[in-house]
């Protein structure tokens, strides 16, 4: 037995300090919700977790991009639906004007409605946009019925990596691009000839509308796929970084018991020198 150096007390103090440090870490994990709060907790796990978070953030933005793309294609498709409706009305007027039973005054009224429909088609072509990005063009292409398409597409970033892009074509749908400026309802023969131009314009707009519909369908599937990928990555990242609350509470309870025992033993160890002195005095 030694009086000068109380080895038992030193050992108890060291163990008590270790337990208190572990208690602090356990409380930190429970309060923060994270198993890894710093690199020292799990360096490899932290590296994997940060990489997963990087990818999850990219997926979040990609899903927002895809939602924007869906909104854009729906805007374009809605505008084309109106153009379709006007073209069908124009065909009705052309067939009506091709009938020789109308007076010059009645035919002039039909022609006036044709001009108003063309103006509205041009307005839609010039003013339909999404977030100030024009979806159509008023220029006249060389080949107007194939269908007319601009050279520059709208590019959507639909993934979290560099190459995950999707082009959305922009088309010319002005009255001149669709050759509707060649229609004329003032005479029977001209009205008859106009039907062919209108039929071709309807076909062209149908093709453009189908393109927007296909793009929307593609984007909806992409959005669903991104959501599943994000869900799986989030679950994996959570398993690496987040605290298992049930396990950590059990550990905390155990550490509390050990800490109390260590504190009691340390108090007993501190009293040993005094007990030795009493024996010597006796």
Q: For the structural domain made of 45-239, what CATH number should be given?
A: 1.20.1330.10
Residue corresponding to tokens 């360096």: 43
Domain map (residue ranges) of the chain: 45-239, 243-275
Residue 241 has pLDDT above 90, yes or no: no
Predicted confidence (pLDDT) per residue in 8-52, tens digit: 656 666 766 676 777 667 666 676 767 777 777 778 888 888 899
Residue 163's pLDDT band (cuts 50, 70, 90): confident
Predicted confidence (pLDDT) per residue in 119-156, tens digit: 999 999 999 999 999 998 766 665 655 555 655 688 89
pTM surpassing 0.85? Answer: no
Predicted confidence (pLDDT) per residue in 244-265, tens digit: 666 767 776 776 776 666 666 6
pLDDT > 90 fraction of the chain, expressed in percent and rounded: 47
**Signed CA dihedral, 81, 83, 86, 88: sign only:** negative
pLDDT at 125: 92
């Amino acid at each position: 037995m030694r009086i000068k150096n109380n080895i038992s007390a030193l050992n108890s103090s060291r163990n008590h300090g270790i337990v208190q440090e572990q208690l602090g870490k356990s409380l930190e994990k429970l309060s923060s919700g994270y198993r890894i709060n710093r690199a020292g907790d799990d360096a490899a796990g932290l590296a994997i977790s940060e990489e997963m978070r990087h990818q999850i953030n990219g997926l979040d933005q990609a899903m927002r991009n895809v939602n924007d793309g869906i909104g854009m294609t729906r805007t374009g498709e809605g505008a084309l639906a109106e153009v379709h409706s006007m073209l069908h009305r124009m065909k009705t007027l052309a067939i009506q004007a091709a009938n020789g039973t109308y007076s010059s005054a009645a035919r002039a009224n039909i022609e006036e409605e044709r001009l108003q429909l063309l103006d509205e088609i041009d307005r839609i072509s010039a003013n339909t946009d999404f977030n100030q990005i024009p979806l159509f063009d008023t220029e006249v292409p060389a080949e107007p019925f194939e269908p007319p398409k601009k050279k520059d597409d709208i590019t959507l970033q639909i993934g979290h990596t560099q190459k995950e892009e999707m082009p959305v074509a922009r088309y010319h749908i002005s009255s001149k691009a669709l050759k509707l400026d060649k229609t004329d309802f003032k005479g029977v023969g001209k009205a008859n000839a106009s039907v062919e131009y209108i039929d071709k314009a309807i076909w062209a707009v149908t093709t453009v509308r189908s393109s927007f519909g296909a793009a929307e369908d593609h984007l909806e599937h992409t959005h669903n796929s991104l959501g599943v990928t994000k869900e799986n990555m989030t679950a994996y990242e959570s398993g690496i970084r987040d605290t298992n609350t049930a396990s950590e509470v059990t550990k905390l309870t155990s550490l509390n018991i050990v800490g109390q025992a260590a504190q009691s033993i340390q108090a007993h160890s501190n009293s040993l020198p005094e007990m030795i002195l009493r024996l010597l005095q006796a």
